[in-house]
Amino acid sequence: MGHAVVIGATGQIGRAAVRALAEDGWTVTAGSRGGGRDDGWPAEVRAVTLDRADDAALAAVVGEGCDVLVDIVAFDAEHARQLVSLADRVGSAVVISSAAIYADETGRSFDTQLEPDGFPQYPVPIPETQSTVAPGEQSYGTKKVALERELLAAGDRLPTTLLRAGAVYGPHCRSPRELYFVKRNLDGRRTRVLAHRGENRFHPASVRNLAELIRLAAARPGSRVLNAGDPEVPTVREIGAAIDAVMGVETETVLLPGAAPSLAVGDTPWTTAHPVVYDMAAAEREIGYRPVVSYADALPETVEWLAGQLRDRDWRAAFPDMASAYDPVVDLFDYAAEDAWLATYTS
C-alpha cells in the first residue's frame, strides 16, 4: 500500500490506526513522544520517538517522503501549517478533527453549553455542511476549525481528509465516559439516577471504527471533511444497561422527566439538553465506510481495560486528565449527594 507515518501513534486512536494500516499492507512508521509500541502491532511496524512540536524532528521522520501522513494530535492552525510545509514530500494526509466544532442556527455550540439555555440544538443528524464556530485561538473548537480551514485551503498541495470524531471510546482513553457506569458497578452502587429519562444521545466513536475510517481515507486520498462515528447512537439508559450486561450486574434506574436536580445527581458525561447525532452518509458514500464494530460489541474490551486501570487505584490517579476536567465543576462520584437526594425522592 505504501509508506504511512502516524503522529501520536501510542495514544488511544493512534494505537488502533497503526494496527489497521499495518494489517492492510502499509509500511508504518509510528511516531510518539515516548517512542513506544503497542502489543497489538505487527513486528514490522517501526516505532520512533517524535515530538511533533519539533519541526525538524517531524521532517526527519518523514524523511524523503511518505504516501500518507496520519496526524492524530493536530490541534490548531500552526499544526496545519507544519503539515503543509511537508507537502512536497507527502502524498496525502488524514487528520483527526472534532465534531465539537459545530454550531446551531443561533450560534450556540459546545463552547456555550454551560450558559443558561446555551446547549446547541442541532439537526438530527448533523451533516458536514452544518455551520461551525469561527476559527480562532479561544477554545478547543475554534482551534480545530482553524486547523481545518488551513488544511482545506491547501488541498491542491496536500489532499487531506479531516475526520470530525464524535465521543471517542475504547482502551487507553484519557477521559473515558464509560467510567461513569463502570466505577459505580465496581463500587457496588445498584441504584442510579438519570435525567431526561436517560434518553440523551451523544454520538460515540469506537477507536476501531475510527481506525477503519483512517484506513479507508488513506487508500482514497482527497480534500474533504467527514463525520466519524459508530453505526448507532445509544441513549444514556441503553449505555448503562449495556455496561451492566458486560459486567453481569443488575441495577435499578430512577428516570427523571426533566433536567438533573444537580450536577452531582442525574448528570452523566453523555447528558445533553438536546441530541447530538452525526450523519455518517458522506463517509459511506465517499470512502466506502462500513463500521467494523457496534457499540455493544466494542464494550467488553473497554470495560475490561477500565476495570484494570481502577484496580488498587483511585480513579483520579488512573485518569488525571478526566479528573482535572471535571473536578473543578463536579465530583462525578459524589455518592453522598446521590444518597441524600434518593432518600428525599423515595420518602
Tally of structural domains, the chain: 1
pLDDT at 347 over 70: no
Mean pLDDT on 58-62 = 96
Structural domain includes residue 124: yes
Structural domain includes residue 165: yes
According to the model, what pLDDT value does residue 80 have? Answer: 98
Between 165-174, 203-212, 323-332, the lowest mean confidence (pLDDT) is in 323-332
Locate 145 and state its grid cell: 476549525
Mean pLDDT on 252-262 = 93
Q: For 268-310, what is each residue's pLDDT tens digit?
A: 999 999 999 999 999 999 999 999 999 999 999 999 999 999 9
According to the model, what pLDDT value does residue 147 have? Answer: 98
Mean pLDDT on 170-196 = 97
Average pLDDT across the chain, whole number: 96
Mean pLDDT on 232-255 = 97
Structural domain includes residue 175: yes
Q: For 140-150, what is each residue's pLDDT tens digit?
A: 999 999 999 99
Locate 89 and state its grid cell: 514530500
pLDDT at 190 over 90: yes
Structural domain includes residue 328: yes
Structural domain includes residue 84: yes
Q: For 10-39, what is each residue's pLDDT tens digit?
A: 999 999 999 999 999 999 999 999 999 999
pLDDT at 52 over 90: no
Q: For 316-345, what is each residue's pLDDT tens digit?
A: 999 999 999 888 788 899 999 999 999 998
Structural domain includes residue 68: no
- DSSP element (H, E) containing 206: strand 204-206
341-347: which pairs have CB atoms within 8 A and are 24 or more residues apart?
341/193, 341/261, 341/262, 341/265, 342/191, 342/193, 342/254, 345/254
**Which range marks the domain in which residue 170 is found?**
74-346
Locate 35 and state its grid cell: 517512542
- CATH number, position 154: 3.40.50.720
Q: Is the peptide bond before 125 cis (omega within 30 degrees of 0)?
A: yes
SS (HEC) of 300-338: HHHHHHHHHHHCCCCHHHHCHHHHHHHCCCCCCCCHHHH
* pLDDT class of 346 with cuts at 50, 70, 90: confident
According to the model, what pLDDT value does residue 233 have? Answer: 97
Structural domain includes residue 336: yes
Locate 124 and state its grid cell: 438530527
Q: For 89-114, what is each residue's pLDDT tens digit?
A: 999 999 999 999 999 999 999 999 98
Task: Single out the residue of 88, 80, 68, 86 nearest to residue 6, CA to CA.
Answer: 68
Structural domain includes residue 268: yes
Residue 318 CA, chain-centre distance (Å), reads: 18
Question: What are the residues whose beta carbons fall under 8 Å from the beta carbon of 106, sequence distance 6 or more?
Answer: 121
**For a pLDDT cut of 70, what percent of the chain falls above it?**
100
